[in-house]
Amino acid sequence: MAIQDIYPTGLRLLGRAVLVVGGGRVALRRAKGLLDAGGKVTVVAPYACADLRELADAGLLVWKKRRYSSTDLDGVWFVQTATGHADVDTAVSADADERRIWCVNASDHESSAAWTPAVAQVDDVKIAVNAGGDPRRAMARRDAVATALEAGDLPLRRRRAAAVGSVALVGGGPSDAGLITVRGRRLLGQADVVVADRLGPRTLLNELAPDVRVIEVGKTPGHHPVPQSEINRILVDEARAGNRVVRLKGGDPYVLGRGGEEAEYCRLHAVDVEVVPGVTSAISVPAAAGIPVTHRGLAKGFSVVTGHEELSEIPARPDHTVVLLMGVNRLRDSVGALAQAGMPIDTPVGIVENGYLPQQRVTIGTLETIAAQAEAVGVANPAVIVIGDVVRVSPYAPEHFKTSDYSTTTPNKPRVAS
């Protein structure tokens, strides 16, 4: 049978009688698939493997413990042979052909009236692959397609409007399209409407289908052209119109991203909402400059705050990392507050602008000098500020900042020049 002879289709077997002839592992796999499709499964075999017997004992299928008889085809819509004996499978297939019942002959795919494809499911999309009767080849192709769908490299978007829409709050990470999660990328590929922030993986918007609407709601410090209340309303209204809505954010929706407010508003208005975590800029952007927020012998903990928050409750020690988000405009006030709280003025400070983007820039100084340095070079948002001894680890740090001993006993011993 040539591959051109195949007419791909899908059988809706819910509540229909189906027959599996055979009781081994192949029969088990086929019986499970038929049960998943809602078929009323009967297994005919003198012997059944333990898992098949368990399904029969649970009442999920009927096992007739005997050899096959042509009367087993009475009232059956579909047949799967899997006895492991070519003569038996051929006899079953011939009987089924005579009665015009579709039958998969596991022993001889060339003469089989139907083939069982390699199947995978991604959300509500079911993939079925035939590969010229070569099951391993079919499985490899199936896995490749399923992986591409999972990753959002292939479209999963519905083309028929849904009766009820939904909202996904997707953390896009710090601008680099490669740092969005697989789940976030997939949901973006399914979206009818994208409500986009200024930060996050903007290049992914260029990959959307032309008819996907993008609603820009980006904010800059001190400038909120679309108030949060209006963003909340947009999400609910679009979902109620039957759209799959993705709220694409930079970083993580629940880390100083107001995602909690948006999720709460959706739930209050009976709109299904999913939260997809993202790679928060508080950790990832310092990493782009080689700065870990914790490091053995230097820091065991860290705090993340905005530059607009009080810093009096933050431990004022170089071995407790402070990460400031949205803190450029009040940098001088923030470092002054930490110094007043007791943090040494020679504590290292790093500022990472445009993390992971081609225009990324790193400025490193101390609590005493960083405000003047930032003003001199024109540091601007988006930027993440890291305060603490972990800045010493950065490859951008001055040589005299670096340490030679990261042990817990002498964590900050300066490097001795040779």
Model pLDDT, residue 267? 96
For every residue of 310-375, DSSP letters joined together read: --TTS--STTEEEEEES-STTHHHHHHHHHHTT--TT-EEEEEESTTSTT-EEEEEETTTHHHHHH
Over 60: is that where the pLDDT of 107 sits?
yes
| pLDDT tens track for 211-270 | 999 999 986 655 568 899 999 999 999 999 999 999 999 999 999 889 999 999 999 999
Alpha-carbon distance of 81 to 220, in angstroms, equals 65
Residue 161 CA to its chain's centroid (Å): 24
For the question of residue 197 being annotated catalytic, the response is yes
Judged by DSSP in three states, 53 sits in: helix
For the question of residue 153 being annotated catalytic, the response is no
Q: In Å, how far are 148, 177, 220, 230 from 203, measured between CA atoms?
A: 19, 7, 19, 25
* 341: nearest Cα among 323, 317, 365, 308: 317
Lowest mean pLDDT among 113-117, 165-169, 317-321: 113-117
Both tokens of residue 221? 């410090």
Catalytic-labelled residue, pool 95, 192, 197, 319: 197
* 175: nearest Cα among 192, 152, 198, 148: 198
Model pLDDT, residue 407? 44
Catalytic-labelled residue, pool 32, 219, 237, 333: 219
Alpha-carbon distance of 24 to 47, in angstroms, equals 8
Is the previous residue joined to 277 through a cis bond, with omega within 30 degrees of 0? Answer: no
Model pLDDT, residue 408? 43
Both tokens of residue 140? 């490899």
Position 125, amino acid? V
Model pLDDT, residue 416? 42
User: Quick one: pLDDT band at residue 395, thresholds 50, 70, 90?
Assistant: very high
* 113: nearest Cα among 123, 124, 122, 102: 102
Helices (H), 107-216: 135-150, 182-190
Q: In Å, how far are 13, 55, 164 from 58, measured between CA atoms?
A: 21, 5, 36
Judged by DSSP in three states, 65 sits in: coil
| pLDDT tens track for 42-59 | 999 999 999 999 999 999
Q: With contact defined as beta carbons under 8 Å apart, do 252 and 172 qualify?
A: no
**Domains, the chain, with CATH or none:** 3-116 (3.40.50.720), 119-150 (no CATH), 166-279 (3.40.1010.10), 283-401 (3.30.950.10)
| pLDDT tens track for 254-297 | 998 899 999 999 999 999 999 999 999 999 999 999 999 999 88
Lowest mean pLDDT among 80-94, 125-139, 145-159, 341-355: 145-159
Quick check: pTM over 0.75?
A: no
